[in-house]
Amino acid sequence: DAGITQSPRHKVTETGTPVTLRCHQTENHRYMYWYRQDPGHGLRLIHYSYGVKDTDKGEVSDGYSVSRSKTEDFLLTLESATSSQTSVYFCAISAGGGYTFGSGTRLTVV
């Protein structure tokens, strides 16, 4: 979607290294979300934000942190990547009851 972009699209990293994924929106929406998608689990909420510097944990937040210093950017950080964090990560924004998803980031931790 033109209003939300994720970077990088693909990343391979080594166990124990820090990784930051970026979500950028041009829509000025208040709510932003980070999900991970794994086979058999569907989409699971990691963290979400309801405004600048306002964030909260989702159901699978362990090992992840987030920051939102500007309305348009929501960063997801894996402080010390583990193989269990190999997944596809989706950012989403919420407005008018609907969701718009980013294109996803495929992260592989080796």
Task: Give the footprint of another protein on this chain (CB under 8 A).
Answer: 1, 31, 40-45, 48, 50, 58, 90, 94, 97-104
Which CB sits closer to another protein, 22 or 31?
Answer: 31
Instruction: Please tell me the number of Cα atoms within 13 Å of 47 on its side-chain side.
Output: 21
In the chain the first and final C-alpha atoms are separated, in Å, by 30
58 SS3 class? coil
CB of 20 to another protein, least distance (A): 21
Longest CA span, the chain: 40
Which CB sits closer to another protein, 83 or 96?
Answer: 96
CB of 93 to another protein, least distance (A): 10
